[in-house]
Amino acid sequence: TSASGANLTFVSDQVIFSGPVSGSASVTFYTAHDLPVGIAPSFFNQVSTPLMKVGNGTMSSNIALAGAFAPGSIGALSFITNGQIYESSGSDSITVGALNADGGSVVLLGANSVGTLQLRGKTGDVYYNGVGDINLGIADPGNAVPGASAAGLLALVAGGDIKTSIAGTYAAQGLG
């Protein structure tokens, strides 16, 4: 697949990028048959976009991240599912300007370094580990609530300060 345009959407059970994929506004990928999505860092090597979305609000399968993600040509990553979003092992990590993780539950315990963080556990817990400051804000303006929220436990561990760029609203809320 080689493609370019303003907003690109790929719906398939398997996508193999053999050429560059460039979305000047966004690139979205989700499976056609609600299969689990396992993502390796090489998935993003060919993608250039301000916003990369994986999943959608009707998806119920899990999104598993395996490896060290540091996509230099993607401004923001947005993972969306009603299932779990998780890093497969403690050595996995995400380094990106902005991250939205909106799942049934979210477990990101690697050495993560994210500029702006938006998290939601729709039906479960949220666990996030950051090596530096955590700045709760809006990573994907079209999805979820700003900041961090969970139907269960909300646990944020920061190597620095926990801050917010959200004015006039709550930044973090655990409901359990």
Contacting residues for 141 by C-beta, under 8 A, at least 6 apart: none
Beta pairing class for 93-103 and 134-136? unpaired
Tens-digit pLDDT profile for residues 36-91: 676 677 777 778 888 888 888 888 989 888 888 888 889 999 999 999 999 988 78
**Considering the chain, what is the average pLDDT of its residues?**
82
Global confidence as pTM = 0.85
Q: Which is nearest to 150 in space by CA: 98, 102, 78?
A: 102
Residue 119 confidence (pLDDT): 95
Is the pLDDT assigned to residue 134 strictly greater than 70? yes
Q: Give me the pLDDT at residue 32, please.
A: 67
